Structure 1
Amino acid sequence: MEVIGWILIVLFFIIGFVGLVYPIIPAVLFIFGGFLIYGLFFDFSDLPWWFWLIQTLFVILLFGADALANAFGVKKFGGSKAGLWGSTIGLIIGPFVIPIAGILVGPFLGAIIAELIFNRSSLKQSIRSGIGSVVGFITSVFTKGIIQIVMVALFFFLV
């Protein structure tokens, strides 16, 4: 049973890191799920109360950081709420339409199209909004990746 437990834990961690670049996967919940699987297969007492508190705060931080980074990127490059929504929709749909490249192309095109349609922005301004959405996404992936590495490192340090 120990081997099965560790396989599941590692699988959840891997899915969590894949979720950094594939937005449909709730990455941080899989990381947290790996901790719960450890507790179920082994012993929750190996992980002190402060571990759970820190990890819960990281989960909340990561959900907030995801939304803020995208919004910051679009706004910083002059985009509007329409550009933000277009970027978000593009981020969700993009990977399905264009596998792998859709992760970056989706939000870029989504922001551009939304700015052109809803705000009647110039093509130049719409493209700036699209660039902002990609910058926001990349910033978000980088930030979330670092935090998730810290989460997993703390886990392995304690076990």
Structure 2
Amino acid sequence: MMILYWLLIVLMVVGIIGALVPGIPGASLILVSIFVWGALDGFTQGVWIALGTALAVLLLSLGIDFLAAYWGGKQAGASNWGQVGAFVGLTLGFFGFLPALPVGGPLVGVLFGPLLGAIIGEFLYHRELEFEPRLKLAAKAGVGIVVGTLVGRLIQGVLAIASVVVFIFTTWPPGVA
């Protein structure tokens, strides 16, 4: 059981990395790992505490993803077009459909897709401006959305670490109730 416990902790560390890096499961991987441990070792009080914490972190992470990008975009003056463009860019980048990025896979697409999508969305929204100020405003909004997203990822990483720490403190040592 001890080997399985440590393998699940390694899987949770991958979840922490996933909370920081787009395209890798984060909080959901941690939640599943805790659930697996609970199913194998018995759902003790410590496992329920860790499971509740991981579920709360997962729900918070979903909200943080959206709100951080929205807040970053609004701070940089982005419109809803920029927000939608970032979402479309993220989706296209994740599935590798960005024509400007034929190599690098989903990770590169997930990193650059929202930026390109936000810039394109803002550029289309501000049709009344001349080319240069239009491009400058679009780039500023795109960078704001990406910065907001990065801040959100850092917050998610901290929450994921907290979730794993709660699991370790509530279930250590393994096999002892």
- TM-score if structure 2 supplies the norm length? 0.76
Indicate the residue corresponding to 2:18 in structure 1.
19
Indicate the residue corresponding to 1:116 in structure 2.
123
Distance in 2 (alpha carbons) for counterparts of 1:105 and 1:48: 38
Candidates 93, 110, 114, aligned match of 1:107 = 114
Indicate the residue corresponding to 1:37 in structure 2.
36
Deviations 1:57-84 (A, max 9, x none): 2222111111100111111100011101
1:136 pairs with 2:143: no
Secondary structure of the structure 1 residue equivalent to 2:90: helix
Candidates 106, 131, 139, aligned match of 1:127 = 139
Contact 1:24 1:92 in 2 (8 A): no
Contact 1:2 1:41 in 2 (8 A): no
Distance in 1 (alpha carbons) for counterparts of 2:14 and 2:88: 22
The 1:28–1:52 alpha-carbon spacing in structure 2 relative to 1, beyond 3 Å, is same
Distance in 1 (alpha carbons) for counterparts of 2:10 and 2:54: 18
Aligned CA-pair RMSD = 2.3
Distance in 2 (alpha carbons) for counterparts of 1:33 and 1:128: 38
Of structures 1 and 2, the one scoring higher in RCO (CA 8 A, sep 6+) is 2
Candidates 163, 166, 169, aligned match of 1:151 = 163
Highest CA radius of gyration, 1 or 2? 2
2:74 partner letter: K
1:138 partner letter: L
Distance in 2 (alpha carbons) for counterparts of 1:63 and 1:91: 15
Contact 2:49 2:170 in 1 (8 A): no
Distance in 1 (alpha carbons) for counterparts of 2:73 and 2:143: 8
Distance in 1 (alpha carbons) for counterparts of 2:62 and 2:12: 17
Give the percent of matched residue pairs that are identical in Structure 1 and Structure 2: 30
Secondary structure of the structure 2 residue equivalent to 1:44: coil
Q: Count residues with an aligned counterpart.
A: 158
Shift of 1:117: 2.0
1:3 pairs with 2:25: no
Shift of 1:45: 0.6
- TM-score if structure 1 supplies the norm length? 0.84
Segment drifting more, 143-152 vs 36-45? 36-45
Distance in 2 (alpha carbons) for counterparts of 1:142 and 1:130: 19
Flag structure 1 segments of 5+ consecutive residues without an equivalent: none
2:153 partner letter: V
Deviations 1:21-65 (A, max 9, x none): 453444211111111011112121152544433332222211111
